[in-house]
């Protein structure tokens, strides 16, 4: 091969080497760009240096670099590293969108919320917005009452509801329902009489429970034909009727009506025998037994006028302590609603959502 051909071959070989070398150089550059810069060590909690100036203390974990928005303000900088596992960043984002690094704060780490069961999810879906405002505090079924007294067993069966003292408003009880999902039995709560009178028509109205008030929901029929709120005088109803639970005998005494009032015009309103008899007279009762012979007709009239429910109401209805924080509500059934054992009773609101439950 002459000198001319040798030079031509060497030139071609050199060009070939340059092309091949350039190809692999470009390929390596592209691969390096896709993989990112080489990892650097991140600081561990308590040994953090200044990441801006490359001081990373005793860091041991490697992380990849991130950059700030190129359009951010003069506070922008490159920060190589994400937050280490189980740590959170403090600081925030500047107005330009750039991250301002302030350090790491250890977190509790690893805590996860326990998944809810299907029963818990269902209970939440069925819960009323009134849940917690009223509780079922006790249930008395009428099996033992009926067997011992020989009367309708439903008369002795009742559910006790209590409005929470922390309620901020009255709760509408009328339209709610007591129901057993086990048996399907139940009944809705109706209206009641706020202030009942004897021997006259009483108008029912929706029942509200104020904070701290109690309602006894009896399965049976009302002994006086209505549901009603208790007051200072309702103990009179207990004399000839049988309530379960019984009504408190808290009526004012007849002697509280001023039996010893003596004036110039009436110096001897009542004699001593009458006054002594009145002082011993039973509360919340009308006279039914014959009077002692020393009790004259004037004394008898005084007693019979005042020993009466309606007179008690008219005399005391405007006093501060007249009304009691208790309702007696009757469902009007003649048969028992609740099982004597292994029972579940729900109080449902007017939309069928669960307000309270009771099991026994």
Instruction: Give me the sign of the Cα torsion angle 315, 318, 320, 323.
Output: positive
The total number of residues shown for the chain amounts to: 360
Q: Are 164 and 132 in contact (CB under 8 A)?
A: yes
Compute the average pLDDT of residues 257-272.
Answer: 63
pLDDT at 187 over 60: yes
Residue-by-residue DSSP string for 192-254: BBSS--TTS----B--EE-TT-EEEEESS--TTSS-EEEETTGGGGGTTS--SSPPP--PPPG
| 16-25, 104-113, 233-242: least confidently modelled range | 104-113
pLDDT confidence of residue 339: 94
Name the residue among 172, 235, 234, 227 with its Cα closest to residue 203: 227
Domain residue ranges in the chain: 40-106, 120-232+319-359
pLDDT confidence of residue 261: 53
Report the C-alpha gap between 188 and 210 in whole angstroms: 19
Share of the chain above pLDDT 90, in %: 55
Helix (H) or strand (E) holding 16: helix 3-35
Report the C-alpha gap between 296 and 22 in whole angstroms: 136
Task: Please state the pTM of the whole predicted model.
Answer: 0.65
Report the C-alpha gap between 218 and 330 in whole angstroms: 5
Report the C-alpha gap between 327 and 228 in whole angstroms: 6
Name the residue among 189, 198, 187 with its Cα closest to residue 241: 198
Report the C-alpha gap between 273 and 298 in whole angstroms: 12
β-strand partners of 179: 186, 346
In this structure, the dihedral spanned by the alpha carbons of residues 151, 154, 157 and 158, taken in order and rounded to 10 degrees, is -130
Taking CA atoms, 255 is separated from 232, 276, 277, 317, in Å, by 16, 10, 10, 18
Report the C-alpha gap between 132 and 111 in whole angstroms: 30
Q: What is the CATH number of domain 120-232+319-359?
A: 2.60.40.1260
Count the neighbouring beta carbons within 10 Å of the beta carbon of residue 13: 10
Summarize pLDDT for 196-237 with one digit per residue, the tens: 999 999 999 999 999 999 999 999 999 999 999 999 999 999
Q: Please, which pLDDT band fits residue 136 given cuts at 50, 70 and 90?
A: very high
């Amino acid at each position: 091969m002459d000198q001319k051909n040798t030079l031509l071959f060497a030139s071609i070989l050199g060009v070939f080497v340059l092309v091949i070398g350039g190809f692999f150089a470009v390929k390596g550059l592209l691969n390096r760009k896709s993989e990112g810069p080489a990892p650097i060590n991140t600081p561990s909690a308590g040994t953090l240096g200044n990441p801006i100036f490359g001081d990373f203390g005793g860091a041991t974990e490697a992380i990849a670099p991130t950059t700030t928005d190129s359009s951010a303000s003069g506070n922008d900088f490159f920060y190589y590293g994400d937050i280490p596992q189980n740590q959170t960043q403090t600081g925030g984002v500047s107005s330009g969108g750039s991250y301002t690094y302030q350090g790491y704060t250890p977190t509790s780490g690893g805590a996860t919320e326990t998944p809810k069961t299907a029963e818990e999810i269902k209970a939440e879906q069925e819960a009323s917005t009134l849940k917690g405002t009223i509780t079922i505090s006790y249930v008395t079924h009428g099996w033992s009452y009926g067997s011992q007294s020989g009367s309708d067993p439903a008369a002795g069966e009742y559910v006790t509801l209590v409005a929470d003292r922390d309620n901020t408003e009255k709760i509408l009880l009328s339209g709610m329902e007591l129901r057993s999902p086990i048996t399907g039995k139940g009944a809705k709560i109706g209206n009641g009489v706020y202030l009942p009178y004897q021997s006259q028509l009483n108008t029912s109205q929706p029942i509200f429970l104020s904070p701290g008030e109690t309602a006894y929901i009896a399965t049976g029929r009302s002994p006086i034909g209505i549901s009603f709120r208790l007051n200072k005088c309702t103990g009179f109803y207990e004399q000839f009727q049988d309530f379960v639970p019984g009504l408190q005998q808290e009526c004012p005494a007849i002697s509280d009506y001023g039996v010893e009032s003596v004036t110039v015009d009436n110096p001897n309103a009542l004699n001593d025998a009458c006054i002594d008899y009145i002082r011993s007279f039973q509360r919340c009762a009308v006279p039914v037994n014959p009077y002692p012979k020393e009790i004259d007709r004037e004394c008898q009239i005084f007693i019979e006028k005042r020993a009466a429910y309606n007179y008690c109401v008219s005399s005391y209805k405007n006093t501060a302590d007249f009304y009691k924080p208790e309702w007696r509500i009757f469902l009007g059934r003649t048969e028992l609603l609740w099982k004597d054992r292994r029972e579940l009773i729900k109080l449902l609101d007017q939309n069928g959502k669960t307000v309270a439950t009771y099991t026994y």
